[in-house]
Structures are given as structure tokens and as C-alpha cells.
């Protein structure tokens, strides 16, 4: 079967949008920044804060509100309900080690019918030293040797995966160059998966 690798935050869910609306705007009600203005990720420079302060806010948000309040992207969930059973699925996220268990729990709760494995590349945080097995998602996927498609919102992850021979599907977000809408992107995913599946059967 075709194996699809899914990023979690901002692909299976809308973490940055949810954080922006319920955390940033609550603390900065007079902010002139709109979500569509977030053309960089991480968006600390656009928001006028340090990177460390942004990451601390996001990590605290993950620990407090992620598990209970964050819902799946409805379009992606609908795609899984219609097509998910035809493929194998892996979750692969970049998350700090102190919040990865929450992300794993969230994935299994909402997508466990289809996604049976969860992997993460620890995001670096100040004053934290971890054993590093893989420097990037592409490095991990080269080691895994199973992936056919990766769905991600980070263009560098897409480029790295494609250099490793894996087809990349860029999830459209304000901070990337994805020009297609969600419907078109998921339609392209289906067509790509079907094409790869057909070639595997030849």
C-alpha cells in the first residue's frame, strides 16, 4: 500500500491559527496583525516578540489547551473518512520533547482509525541537550525507507523529502507558497496517491 506521512500541527489541525486567535489576540487585543499577515513561521518578527518568547507561549499553549480544545482540520478529517482506508499513514511532527506526548495523544484520539504510528523530531529549545538521531524529517524518512508521500506545511521539509525521492504535498498556509486551496490540495493528494498505487501494482 502507498504510505502517506502527515505533519501534525497546521496540517492535521490548525494549531497556529488556534493559538493566534485564543492566545495572541487575547493577550494583545489591539494588535493590527491578522492571521493572513503571518507570512513567516515561526512568526515572532511579525508579531514583534523574541523567538524564545514565542516558543514559550506556544509550548505553554500546547500543554494547557492543545489536547482538549484543538479540533482536527475538518477538510482533512473528511478526506480520511473517504479515502484513508486505502493507504497506510504515519504521523511525523517536529515538536519539543516536553509536549510530544500530547501531540501523540491528540493524533491517536482523532486519527487513530487510520494513523497507527507517531514519530517526532525533537524541536530544539534553549538549555536542552538531546540525543540527535535525525537532523530533519528528510533524514528520518531516508532511514525509515517506507514513505511514498509527505504532506507538510514547511517548504524545507517538502524539498528535503523530494530530494530523498518522496513526493511532497504542500499544505497551503500564509507562510508558504502553496497557491492551491484546501480542496484542490487534497484532490491532488488523492490523485497522486492513486497514481503511485497504480505504479506499485504494475
Is residue 134 helix, strand or coil?
A: coil
For 171, the 3-state DSSP assignment is coil
HSE, side-chain direction, 13 A CA sphere, residue 166:
30
Residue 127 has pLDDT above 80, yes or no: no
Give the Cα separation of 87 and 4 in Å (integer): 7
Helix axes 100-111, 74-83, angle to 10 degrees: 50
- Cα–Cα distance, 171 to 167 (Å, whole number): 13
141-168 tens-digit pLDDT: 999 999 999 999 999 999 999 999 999 9
Distance CA 113, CA 45 (A): 39
Could you name the CATH architecture of 3-14+71-201?
Answer: 3-Layer(aba) Sandwich (3.40)
Intra-chain end-to-end CA distance of the chain, in Å: 13
pLDDT, one tens digit per residue, over 67-117 is: 778 999 999 999 999 999 999 999 999 999 999 999 999 999 999 999 999
Would you state the pLDDT for residue 75?
98
Q: Say if pTM beats, i.e. exceeds, 0.85.
A: yes
User: pLDDT tens, 23-50?
Assistant: 999 999 989 999 999 999 999 999 999 9
Q: Provide the residue ranges of all domains of the chain, joining segments of one domain with +.
A: 3-14+71-201, 15-69
Half-sphere exposure of 107 (CA within 13 A, CB side): 26
Amino acid at each position: 500500500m502507498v504510505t502517506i506521512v502527515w505533519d501534525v500541527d497546521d496540517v492535521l489541525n490548525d494549531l497556529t491559527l488556534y493559538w493566534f486567535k485564543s492566545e495572541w489576540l487575547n493577550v494583545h487585543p489591539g494588535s493590527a496583525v491578522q492571521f493572513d499577515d503571518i507570512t513567516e513561521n515561526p512568526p515572532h518578527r511579525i508579531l514583534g516578540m523574541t523567538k524564545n518568547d514565542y516558543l514559550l507561549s506556544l509550548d505553554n499553549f500546547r500543554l494547557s489547551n492543545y489536547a482538549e480544545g484543538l479540533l482536527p482540520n475538518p477538510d482533512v478529517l473528511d478526506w480520511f473518512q473517504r479515502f484513508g482506508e486505502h493507504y497506510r499513514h504515519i504521523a511525523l511532527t517536529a515538536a519539543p520533547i516536553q509536549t510530544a506526548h500530547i501531540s501523540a495523544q491528540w493524533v491517536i484520539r482523532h486519527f487513530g482509525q487510520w494513523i497507527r504510528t507517531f514519530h517526532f523530531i525533537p524541536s530544539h529549545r534553549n538549555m536542552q541537550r538531546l540525543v540527535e538521531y535525525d537532523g530533519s524529517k528528510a533524514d528520518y524518512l531516508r532511514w525509515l525507507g517506507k514513505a511514498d508521500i509527505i504532506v507538510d506545511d514547511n517548504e524545507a521539509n517538502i524539498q528535503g523529502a523530494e530530494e530523498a525521492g518522496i513526493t511532497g504535498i504542500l499544505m497551503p498556509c500564509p507562510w508558504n507558497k502553496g497557491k492551491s486551496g484546501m480542496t484542490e490540495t487534497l484532490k491532488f493528494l488523492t490523485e497522486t496517491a492513486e497514481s503511485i498505487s497504480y505504479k506499485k501494482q504494475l
